[in-house]
Structure 1
Amino acid sequence: MRNSMRLGLLAGSVLAALPLTLTSATAQTGSGSTASDSTDNLAGEIVVTARKRSERMIDVPETISAFSEASLQKAGITNLDKLGQAVPNVVLNRRGDNEPNVVIRGVGSFGNVQGIGFYIDDVQNFTDQASRLVDLERVEILKGPQGTLYGGSSIGGAVKYVTKKPSSKFEGRASVELGEQSIFNVNGSINVPLSDVFYARISGYADTNDGYLKNNITHINNDKSEEYGVRAAFRFAPSDDTDINLSVRYSNLNNGGNDYYLTPTTKSYKLNSDLNENIYNHRRVFGSILSVDQKIGNMSLISLTSYTERKNNLLWDLDYSGLDGLTGYQPKPVKTKVFTQELRLQSDNSEGLNWLVGGYYARVRDRSLVTTIDAVFGVDFGGPFTIANFHDNTSLEQTYAGFATVSYKAGPFEASLGGRLNHVDFFGVNRLIPDSLHVKDTVVLPKLTLSYKIDPAMMLYFNASEGYEPARFTLFNETPLLPYKPEKAMNFELGAKGQTSGGFLSYEIAGFYIKNKDRQLETLVIDSSGVPNEATGNVGDARTWGAEFSFTLRPTRGLSLNANGGWMNSKFSAGDFDGGRVPYAPRFSGGASVDYSTDLSSDLKLSLRADVSHNSGFFWTSDNSLKQESYDVVGGRLAIGSTDDKWELAVRVDNLFNEKYHTELQPFDEDNLLARRGQPSLVVGSATIRF
């Protein structure tokens, strides 16, 4: 009954809008805001910084998925789970412990191995990659190795958050959301010009969500969460040649952290568990970024400096039962400290020769909270056993790099060559099992790009690039620290992108081939006592090939139809799993959406959206013993607001048909699996004002 009512609401809204659609060309004439909406997703209008310079997305010779603020809002994308559903050949979600799980084109991993870099304003984010998405200019997802410009840990691609900069315009925004699961979210921003050359922008949010995984013993939902954050940005632009930006941010998150349940089968999708502990994961993050952009003639000198500190306290029930088994307890905050510095000199965009040269340094102390946790993840000692301060290891990772690119344009042709010399020094000490280890390596990461513009709005391109995930080590509960080799990937991509005159059709098509050496993945290791442990290691080589597409059709003003999809074949080509499919790599994934906006009067407009995403299923483990079945997630949004965008009321339905799927699934013991179910159906209403 509940799903039927939701389906009826969505279908009724769409049917009611059909007559308006047929007359939209006449009704929307002269509406500036509607015109803006209709061109929001034009490939030629979106500006990205994938190559660390501002360019139209249509001019960048590689596969990029970009989401503007408006498109994020329409799609209801506020976290990683929703972002991953919107992009083909991408598996992306937030783990129970708030770390990201991300795989792009079969490269990357769940757990301690990432392989995908996260960036805030071109600064790598090591501490809170899965935080709330608020006050963003756009989000960019770059596919394929990004090692030349972005370094290690971007072997499969990169996810870039670009925040809004302070400007000379006084403006603000406030929004409140109410929904099922006792959702109550507020967020807002205000931009204030303090003088002709000095501007400030403040944004913040506060979210509460009771979650959906009930605890039958404590009667408190294991995934209940409370999160708030604030960001202050200041901009000093005394001339057209000087632009200085300083931003500071703070976020505070408190949730269950390990909101999983035990199940004997892969087809169990429970909404309850039996944990006899009031689990929590309390994370605080402070971060700051200082950027200086100084023009010197026809060049720009750019400096990016950042410092970030994270603190974590937690209590986890690691036997995942109502028994007095194993509890992990961390009363003293675990601290992670990160400092990065990048300096680069580059030519301004021009015809002919363009170049960029730079240097990079990063220092990360205690990068991974989960390294020690995973050593006992899934352990049930069968009796009361508490590990206090169970994260008791110290690590220090330092990265030094120099990089350069040069490109030359000759008419419709452009050739670009880049390289990065990257050195990583990783040192760790484990106090649970007295041991220390020092791992270091140096690599060269090249990239070649060739492109040809058939006309200003259509490009053919080819690129070849090498990616790299540094060597490190893992902790295993009964042995010393275990090192593993770096992972390398060679990527080849051939594609076409463009749009027809007037933006009637935008398209992007690409084919790719990836050769991985020494894949880094977490695998299940059984110790001498029969206890399962997760250990990161090299599982062999792999080969991946595939294709993907994205088409956006705009038949009338205010109406936008999008379809995207990706197919790939990703298999191990050497090692213990030779011939098997690589985990987290669906054969096919894709989606479709319909966006429609029309003026009801000179002051009022209606906006409708329906979307669906499909995943054909994949394997969770390297031995292909656990499979995620195919699933489809349908959503919709109905909004009414002013034509000048000063206010809006909206309601959104996520997972309309309550599709059941897992966001995590892994072995636990001989009889059980450890599972986390994806978001069930959810209705959220919102009110937004702008000034």
Structure 2
Amino acid sequence: MKGFLLSTVALVAAVPFATVVRAQTADTAKSEVKTEEAVGIGEIVVTANKRSESVQKAPAAITALTGPLLEKMGIVSALDLRKVVSGAAFVHENNVVQGFIRGVGGNLDEPFVDPAIGININDINLPRAASGSSFFDLQRVEVLPGPQGTLYGGSATGGVVNLISTVPAHNYEGSASLEGGNYAALRLNLAQNIDVSDTLALRGAFQFARHDGYQSRGLYSLAKEFDGRISALWTPTEDFTASIFASAYIAHGKPDATVNAPLKDKNHPWRVPTVGQIFNNPVDASLSRFAFKVYVVGGRFNYDVGDIRLSYIPGLSVTRVSLNSYAADFPDSEVDNETRYSNEVRISNSESGRNSWQVGLYQAHTKVAYNFFFGSGVFPPPADIVIIVPRQINTDYAVYAQDVFKITPEIRLTAGGRYSYDSKKTRNSIGALGVPFSADHHWDHFDWKVGVDADLAKDVLGYATIQTGYLPGGYFPLPNTPTFNNNVEPERLQSYTVGIKSRLLDNRLTINDEAFYYIYKNYQIVAVNLSGGQVDLIGNAPRAVIYGNQFNLSYQLTGNDTFDIGFTALKAKFTNFVFGNKNLKDFDMANAPHWSGEVGYDHRFDLANGADVTFHAHSHLQTGYWGLFSHDPGTRQSKYTKTDVTLTYSAPGDRWTAGIWAKNIENTPVFGATGAGGQPGPASAFIEEPRTYGVKLSTRW
């Protein structure tokens, strides 16, 4: 959190539409399902395991969302994944999207510790401050749950989100869309391929978006957002391929303010008072603002020597954040500047042999400058809490290897390992109580993975995996003393999964199921008392266990009708954790509802002229859950449902489309990041978007 929130409340999504099951349907071309003779759920090729493979042949519960499905469901940021990734929670606090998958996640938004869910674009890991960037012109999104220590290392304790941008093609195809809605919403997208030569192709993509405030007095508004990406694909020989991209995200507006938890006025959940209800702080919307800038440059260079491929993946990200917002009616002022460069070298062999192996080296270097002020009155506030980190250096190194060995043509054994070394250093910083401090900590760790998968029958895969994950440690912003060490220990997670994937009835029916059991050690937590205006702790909960089951089904009843259902049963609890004088043994972890699920339905009406009209609806529902690990009063989110619908007309040949859409039809208020105390409490929380609706026009050439 922003140095003062205890933890995040989640929107946990157990989704057929976003599961590997439903995502395949969206990728099936209309020409393949126009008639009863050509029905079936199409295949998607994914690279989440750093190998190209069918999602139904990957021994893991990978969620794959193709570009058409992202567009269809209006998924424009990581925050929207909360409604389409089974068993996951993605919530916002200003510019940061906090991710939790199967109860594993992180609620601290400051650079002292790393996020537990990694977000990558084209294999380049993004810093936490860039997690709120928009999705646009993506070929697909892949979400891989569970600890991914072997292939991804640190910041993948709970899983990874991989964004894969659309690759330039040797043609002049392009697309454009224009969308408008309530709250004066506007979104414009443009994309164009350029065929420069037989060996060089370029692609440009651009997005502009804006909307008025969702809260009273104009707060929670995106005044202007600009996104752009230029990509190049160069193939001078059959053995060498170079893919390069550069992207920019620039946004300005007014961030949202927290609301009282529980809601004081349930009839007006998005209303913000003009004056703090206890502390008499003026809430001046004219002083509230944000400015975010994220620049990413990266590439992939592949060189093939016989059956061996050498890959080099360099990356650079620059993030600039400036923010004035209100939390618990207190002014919150932040500046966060982060620059990261990374390099990965990977050697792999052809997948046609008995062994499919890969070996890699990874390095990342991050520089951070961070200022945080939390107080009362004006911006910048007089600072009841001050944290000034003029320079923090993170270094990360790793070496990894993984092999898939075919015991028989039907049975495969996977084994892998990764050694990681990570450090965080800062000097001459100002801590939470306004006192100088320094930190210089490093950690090393070995992760491993062992798994077996087998073709149990035609189009039926069974698998079992044991693997570990590791989140580097961090520091607490106070000086070391003879009785206090500001080191925060790394997290460690060991998971056991057993699953099955199947495609039945001539690919009309897909059923996937995975049971999981996690042993979670040294869970990193943060606790802040908003009423007292003081950071209490950034530390570790010694042990927790997480177990449950994820089930997804997609059934194509006809060439025009598809039905989906999915649910996740989850139990995430502490087994050894004393916080202050409170024993939290058997307490549910934050953002972990016992049940969550979705139901979806698609129907296409074929018209005589070759056009069609498609109706799409899905509804998310879940039981209540705690927003704080300590179960403070007022921090429990009650059970709820949220429903989205679209109705789209597609001209003959899909030359253009026109549609109407609505999100959160029920207008359900759902809490985002949550903290104890304040306004007047017993808790305060950010709040997710209200009902929105609009129209959309698009064309392709």
Q: TM-score, normalised by structure 1?
A: 0.88
- Return the alpha-carbon distance in structure 2 between the equivalents of residues 240 and 39 of structure 1: 35
Q: Residue type of the partner of 2:333?
A: G
Work out whether 1:161 is the aligned partner of 2:160.
no
Question: Partner residue of 1:280?
Answer: 289
Question: Partner residue of 2:587?
Answer: 580
- Return the alpha-carbon distance in structure 2 between the equivalents of residues 37 and 420 of structure 1: 49
Work out whether 1:490 is the aligned partner of 2:494.
yes
- Return the alpha-carbon distance in structure 1 between the equivalents of residues 622 and 38 of structure 2: 29
Question: Partner residue of 2:401?
Answer: 404
Question: Partner residue of 1:516?
Answer: 520
Question: Partner residue of 2:311?
Answer: 302
Q: Residue type of the partner of 2:391?
A: T
SS at match of 2:60: coil
Could you report, residue by residue, the CA deviation over 1:181-209 in whole angstroms, capped at 9, with x for unpaired residues? 11011011001110111000000101001
Structure 1 pair 590/49, CA: closer, same or farther in 2 (3 Å)? same
Could you report, residue by residue, the CA deviation over 1:86-105 in whole angstroms, capped at 9, with x for unpaired residues? 1221111332x211111111
1:56-455 equivalent positions in 2, closer than 5 A? 56-95=54-93, 97-112=94-109, 114-126=115-127, 127-215=129-217, 220-263=218-261, 270-273=269-272, 274=274, 275-277=283-285, 278-317=287-326, 320=329, 326=331, 328=333, 330=335, 334-366=336-368, 373=372, 379-380=375-376, 385-386=381-382, 391-409=388-406, 410-429=408-427, 431-432=429-430, 433-455=435-457
Residues 40 and 70 of structure 1 are in contact (CA less than 8 Å); yes or no, is this contact kept in structure 2?
Answer: no
Residues 666 and 675 of structure 1 are in contact (CA less than 8 Å); yes or no, is this contact kept in structure 2?
Answer: yes
Question: Partner residue of 1:505?
Answer: 509
Question: Partner residue of 2:4?
Answer: none
Structure 1 pair 478/342, CA: closer, same or farther in 2 (3 Å)? closer
More deviation in 276-285 or 531-540? 531-540
SS at match of 2:235: strand
Q: Residue type of the partner of 1:426?
A: K
Question: Partner residue of 1:619?
Answer: 626
Q: TM-score, normalised by structure 2?
A: 0.86
Q: Residue type of the partner of 2:105?
A: G
SS at match of 2:542: coil
| Offset, 1:176 | 0.6
Structure 1 pair 505/384, CA: closer, same or farther in 2 (3 Å)? closer
Q: What's the % identity of the aligned pairs?
A: 22
Q: Residue type of the partner of 1:591?
A: E
Residues 635 and 652 of structure 1 are in contact (CA less than 8 Å); yes or no, is this contact kept in structure 2?
Answer: yes
Residues 233 and 247 of structure 1 are in contact (CA less than 8 Å); yes or no, is this contact kept in structure 2?
Answer: yes
| Offset, 1:540 | 2.5
| Offset, 1:647 | 0.5
- Return the alpha-carbon distance in structure 2 between the equivalents of residues 68 and 679 of structure 1: 24
Residues 469 and 488 of structure 1 are in contact (CA less than 8 Å); yes or no, is this contact kept in structure 2?
Answer: yes
Residues 668 and 690 of structure 2 are in contact (CA less than 8 Å); yes or no, is this contact kept in structure 1?
Answer: yes
Work out whether 1:32 is the aligned partner of 2:34.
no
Residues 216 and 270 of structure 2 are in contact (CA less than 8 Å); yes or no, is this contact kept in structure 1?
Answer: yes
Q: CA RMSD in A?
A: 2.7
| Offset, 1:329 | 6.3
- Return the alpha-carbon distance in structure 2 between the equivalents of residues 40 and 116 of structure 1: 36
Residues 613 and 633 of structure 1 are in contact (CA less than 8 Å); yes or no, is this contact kept in structure 2?
Answer: yes
SS at match of 1:592: strand
- Return the alpha-carbon distance in structure 2 between the equivalents of residues 489 and 400 of structure 1: 20
SS at match of 2:187: strand
Q: Residue type of the partner of 1:573?
A: T
1:537-552 equivalent positions in 2, closer than 5 A? 537-552=539-554
| Higher relative contact order (Cα pairs below 8 Å, separated by 6+ residues) | 2
Structure 1 pair 327/462, CA: closer, same or farther in 2 (3 Å)? closer
- Return the alpha-carbon distance in structure 1 between the equivalents of residues 656 and 37 of structure 2: 18
Structure 1 pair 653/499, CA: closer, same or farther in 2 (3 Å)? same
- Return the alpha-carbon distance in structure 1 between the equivalents of residues 478 and 472 of structure 2: 19
| Offset, 1:33 | 6.3
- Return the alpha-carbon distance in structure 2 between the equivalents of residues 470 and 558 of structure 1: 49
More deviation in 254-263 or 122-131? 254-263
Structure 1 pair 443/478, CA: closer, same or farther in 2 (3 Å)? closer
Aligned length: 641
Residues 437 and 478 of structure 2 are in contact (CA less than 8 Å); yes or no, is this contact kept in structure 1?
Answer: no
Residues 95 and 292 of structure 2 are in contact (CA less than 8 Å); yes or no, is this contact kept in structure 1?
Answer: no
SS at match of 1:503: coil
- Return the alpha-carbon distance in structure 1 between the equivalents of residues 514 and 58 of structure 2: 13
Q: Residue type of the partner of 1:402?
A: V
Structure 1 pair 507/62, CA: closer, same or farther in 2 (3 Å)? same
| Offset, 1:335 | 2.4
Could you report, residue by residue, the CA deviation over 1:572-620 in whole angstroms, capped at 9, with x for unpaired residues? 0102121111111110111011112232123311111011011212111
Could you report, residue by residue, the CA deviation over 1:211-270 in whole angstroms, capped at 9, with x for unpaired residues? 21113xxxx334344211100001101233221011001110113235323456588562
SS at match of 2:150: helix
Residue from 601, 611, 614 that aligns with 1:604: 611
Structure 1 pair 243/272, CA: closer, same or farther in 2 (3 Å)? same
| Offset, 1:391 | 4.7
Residue from 555, 561, 566 that aligns with 2:568: 566
| Offset, 1:353 | 1.0
| Offset, 1:385 | 4.0
More deviation in 588-597 or 311-320? 311-320
- Return the alpha-carbon distance in structure 1 between the equivalents of residues 379 and 60 of structure 2: 54
Question: Partner residue of 1:646?
Answer: 655
Q: Residue type of the partner of 1:393?
A: P
Residue from 630, 652, 668 that aligns with 2:677: 668
| Offset, 1:328 | 2.6
- Return the alpha-carbon distance in structure 2 between the equivalents of residues 246 and 41 of structure 1: 35
Residue from 633, 642, 648 that aligns with 2:642: 633
Q: Residue type of the partner of 2:418?
A: R
Work out whether 1:688 is the aligned partner of 2:698.
yes
For structure 1, the 5+ residue unaligned runs are 1-29
Residues 80 and 94 of structure 1 are in contact (CA less than 8 Å); yes or no, is this contact kept in structure 2?
Answer: no
Could you report, residue by residue, the CA deviation over 1:641-665 in whole angstroms, capped at 9, with x for unpaired residues? 1232211001111011212221222
For structure 2, the 5+ residue unaligned runs are 1-28, 275-282, 579-583
Residues 523 and 622 of structure 1 are in contact (CA less than 8 Å); yes or no, is this contact kept in structure 2?
Answer: no
- Return the alpha-carbon distance in structure 2 between the equivalents of residues 39 and 520 of structure 1: 51
SS at match of 2:557: coil
